[in-house]
């Protein structure tokens, strides 16, 4: 199984877990990342996640976020300097890093904002 198929499978597991544990349906739309941000807020209610829980949820949320971006904007999963990343029109994005920082309690992080920022960055890079 290649990197893309593996991470698609992880994204599907995120959809299942969020539905089962949090009652939220994720449909791979850009709007669904707002719902995933809300789930992450609930997970952070008792403070930043740590250790295995942080690693698990950042992997699930990162895979789902990356998959949403690839479906919305095209592109592919890649490995970049030892990290899983997305490549869209020459732009490399790191959804796992964003998810890790969000779930680790970093202020101002959002999975939805990560995705919405991609066309903005692409537009600026063309100028």
Read off the CATH number of the domain in which 21 is found: 1.20.120.1090
Give the number of domains in the chain.
1
- pTM of the predicted model as reported, rounded to 2 decimal places: 0.96
Write the pLDDT tens digit of every residue in 26-74. Answer: 999 999 999 999 999 999 998 999 999 999 999 999 999 999 999 999 9
Q: How many CB atoms lie within 10 A of CB 41?
A: 11
Range of the structural domain that residue 104 is part of: 3-126
Which pLDDT belongs to residue 2?
86
Structure-derived torsion over alpha carbons of residues 85, 24, 12, 57, reported in degrees to the nearest 10: 50
């Amino acid at each position: 199984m290649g990197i893309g198929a593996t991470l698609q499978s992880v994204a599907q597991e995120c959809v299942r877990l969020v539905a089962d544990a949090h009652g939220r349906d994720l449909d791979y739309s850009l709007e669904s990342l707002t719902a995933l941000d809300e789930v992450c807020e609930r997970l952070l209610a008792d403070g930043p996640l740590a250790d295995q829980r942080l690693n698990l949820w950042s992997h699930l949320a990162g895979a789902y976020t990356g998959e949403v971006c690839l479906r919305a904007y095209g592109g592919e999963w890649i490995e970049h300097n030892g990290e899983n990343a997305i490549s869209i029109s020459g732009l490399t994005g790191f959804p796992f890093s964003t998810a890790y920082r969000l779930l680790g309690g970093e202020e101002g992080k959002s999975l939805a904002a990560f995705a919405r920022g991609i066309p903005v960055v692409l537009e600026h890079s063309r100028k």
